[in-house]
Structure 1
Amino acid sequence: MKSQPNDLIKVHPGFWAGLHQLGISTDDIACTAQLRFEAINEPVVTQSQYFAIWQAYSDLIGDTAEGIIKLATGYEISKYPPPVLAMYHARNYRDALNRMACYKQMCPPESLQIIEAGEQCSIELEWLHKEQPGPPLLTGITLAFLIELGRRGTGQPLTAKLVEFSQPMGNLDVLEAYFGCRVETGTPYNRLTLERKDLSLPFLSYNEELLEILTPVLDRTLVEQERSRSVTEVVKWIIKRSLAGKRPDIQTVAKELRMSDRTLQRRLTEENTNFKQLLTEARHEQAREYLADLSLDIKEVAFLVGYEDQNSFYRAFRTWEGDTPSNWRVRQ
């Protein structure tokens, strides 16, 4: 799904303030990234410019791992943009992570997928344009911020269970000391795995009054951004986000989009599709993605794509792929 028209990405002033604290100036970044100084001082940049900025920071800082930790731990809360403040002042760690996954849509080019299963919670980073993944340091800082958010919010030295990166990340000993767990590279995923029980920990920084101010504004911005996309893209995204353990209906999705179900049906018809078709496509796409993750058993996959009955999932998957989920997984 497209993130913003023309793939423009906002760069918050706090980012530059964070680099300045590390002794890196915008002149340094512009020179290293071979970008015009005027270009990187614009409120928005193109995706290629955004990646070049992060790669320049990585080159200037030296080791990728050290660059990740320095920026993640050195960033002042007062410099956070409004979406991040809403996470920091959430009710608990789970609320903060869910807000981050939601509001991340306003800050492409990556998205976050949160899966709670058994005793663990995995948060996977996905690039909106898979053919153009971001620099390793950008991947690392995103996952590091997830654990940093929990530590600052709860006031406890939280650790992860496992961290996985698809690219080399520099000094792994440094990263393992920071995350408090094993860090693997060269994996199919960019993923942080947490103890699920930690998600219920309350945030000491919880601020109900501030959230009552921030949340409506951020939600309104998100809705306006979603309206710039096709209705089909937005509906499928909402379905995927809402699948786990249930089957979302058109009334629920229409309510979230602040329109009647009849209006939503009409809009989908205008785009040559319908809700039932999008639900099927979303389940099929998510099933393939989850089955590729060997840490999930078939029963968990069935639940995550909205089937309470495993046999119903088997029948549906046979219709989609002409084979059972188990056989399909082996073939892949």
Structure 2
Amino acid sequence: MPDSSPPLVRTALLMPLIHHFEEHGGDVDLLLADMQISNAIRTDFDRLIPVKAIYETIDEIATRLGDPFLGATVGRDMARNAMGPVTKHLTREQTVGNLLDRFLISVGSYGNSTNYRLENDGQNATLKMTRKAQPDANPAHPDALTLALLVEQIRPRVGQSWDPKNVLAVVVDETVVPDWLLPRSSLITGSKMGLTLRFPSLWMVLNQAYSPGDTPLGETNKEYGTLAEAVRSFCKEHMSDPKLDITKTARACRLHPKALSRKLSNEDTSFKAILDDQRRQFAIAAIGQGKMTVTEIALRTGFTQASNFTRAYRRWTGEAPSDARSKQR
């Protein structure tokens, strides 16, 4: 007889979203009570619960926070900060191929609700996730989380070869995938039964230097003459993050934000000035090279809206990016 039991997953998969909810002022006790989930999951990460409860809880968190990109945001933070039950196994893998092999091994130990398969025809590599049963709840945010986790792990390993035009993702709902993750041209709406991510086969063997996003600056192999130089390097590496702020940077420096601000002031600069200058330098150089669209440059410099990027570029140079580019023709 076929197994009629509901798909189950370990509650460890829900914890990054619970932590995100709590960090943004959410009442976790009330949330779990409303969703009829035992508070014990906060310490018992191996407890198995129906995947439907996971999906419904994630949807409820998105609703209570008013965040249409909840899944993608948490997936990005998991990838960049090496947090969460699956991500912690991925940080040592240098190539995309090894990364995905480790991902497939790790994700299978956290539940029985999905099957993953990696295909490679020599031209494109395709990672497919297929649900074993039609979901009883909306999987849009969980799928966006998975997509963001994968993209944000693949992108730094690919380095300069990364081009979203070469990426195709089939998702349940395109509206929960923000532009800073993938442009709408890289998305196709699919069914609730799964998720697909396709990219060039060549990326599987690329081996760019990679380290988790929050590696303390004092523990990297780089040596910095001043704190400002260290912050400048961190901002250069992470400026595509639209939520990059002094708190994240201070954590990487192992300083309190106020202490970082004070020390930078003693060096006659500030976090805001350093980040703005790094984005300015990249944007001007990228516009001049003409290899990326204005939208792609905006995303690479941490702007989620092209209009905000245009205002910043005009402040930096006195002209709009479109005008600067037209002069090159």
Q: TM-score, normalising length from structure 2? A: 0.51
| C-alpha separation in 2, matches of 1:7 and 1:186 | 23
2-structure distance, mates of 1:158, 1:18? 29
- 69, 74, 78: which one pairs with 1:71? 74
Which residue identity does 1:144 align to in structure 2?
Answer: A
Displacement of 1:149: 1.0
Quick check: 1:164 aligned with 2:178?
no
Superposed CA deviations along residues 193-232 of structure 1, whole A, max 9, x for unmatched, are 112111211152379xxxxxxxxxxxxxxxxxxxxxxxxx
- The equivalent position to 1:27 in structure 2, one of 2, 5, 29, is 29
Residue among 188, 202, 207 paired with 2:207: 202
Residues 1:115 and 2:119 are matched in the alignment: yes
| Distance apart, 1:111 and its partner CA | 3.0
User: In the TM superposition, what are the counterparts of 1:11-90 in structure 2 within 5 Å?
Assistant: 11=12, 13-27=15-29, 29-30=31-32, 33-36=34-37, 38-41=39-42, 42-43=44-45, 44-47=47-50, 48-62=52-66, 64=68, 66-75=69-78, 77-81=81-85, 83-90=86-93
SS of residue matched to 1:35: coil
Q: Which amino acid aligns with 1:26?
A: V
Match of 2:196 among 179, 182, 191: 191
Could you tell me how far 1:144 is from its partner in structure 2? 1.9
C-alpha separation in 2, matches of 1:168 and 1:80: 24
What secondary structure is seen at the aligned counterpart in 1 of 2:210? coil
Q: Does 1:135 align with 2:136?
A: no
1:27 aligned partner, one-letter code: D
For 1:147 and 1:106, how far apart are their aligned partners in 2? 21
Higher helix share: 1
Greater shift in the superposed pair: 7-16 or 193-202: 7-16
- Do the aligned residues in 2 keep the contact of 1:101 with 1:111 (CA within 8 Å)? no
Mapped contact 2:151–2:181 kept (Cα < 8 A): no
Cα gap change, 1:169/1:28 in structure 2, threshold over 3 Å: closer, same or farther?
farther
**SS of residue paired to 1:79:** coil
Question: Which amino acid is the alignment partner of residue 73 of structure 2?
Answer: K
SS of 2:181's partner is helix
Q: Quick one: distance in 2 between partners of 1:24 and 1:196? A: 42
Deviation at 1:70, TM superposition (A): 1.8
C-alpha contact (below 8 Å) 1:114/1:124 kept by paired residues:
yes
Structure 2 CA distance, aligned partners of 1:147 and 1:28?
Answer: 33
CA distance in 2, matches of 1:203, 1:20: 35
2:145 is the alignment partner of 1:144: no
Aligned to 2:173, the other structure's residue is in SS state coil
How far off its partner does 1:154 sit?
Answer: 4.7
Q: What SS does structure 1 have at the residue aligned with 2:93?
A: coil
Q: How many Å separate the matches in 2 of 1:200 and 1:206?
A: 17
Residue 178 of structure 1 corresponds to 181
The CA distance in 1 between the partners of 2:140 and 2:32, in whole Å, is 19
Match of 2:242 in 1: none
1:99 aligns with 2:88: no
Pair 130,98 (structure 1): closer, same or farther in 2 beyond 3 Å: farther
Query: What do the CA deviations read for 1:136-194 (whole angstroms, capped 9, x no partner)?
Result: 111121122111111244555553521112x334256x34x422442121457521111
Contact kept, 8 Å, 2:126 with 2:199, in 1: the verdict is yes
Deviations 1:117-148 (A, max 9, x none): 14211111111334546521111211221111
TM-score (norm 1): 0.50
Measured in 1, the distance between the counterparts of 2:174 and 2:182 equals 13
CA–CA distance in structure 2, aligned partners of residues 14 and 74 of structure 1: 9
SS in 2 for 1:178: coil
State the superposition RMSD in angstroms. Answer: 3.4
In the alignment, structure 1 segments of 5+ residues that lack a partner are 208-332
Structure 2 regions of 5+ residues with no counterpart?
213-329
Relative distance call for 1:122 and 1:26 in structure 2 (3 A) is same
Kept in 2: contact 1:137–1:169 (CA 8 A): no
Judged with a 3 Å threshold, the aligned counterparts in structure 2 of structure 1 residues 113 and 6 are, in CA distance, closer, same or farther, namely closer
Identity %: 12
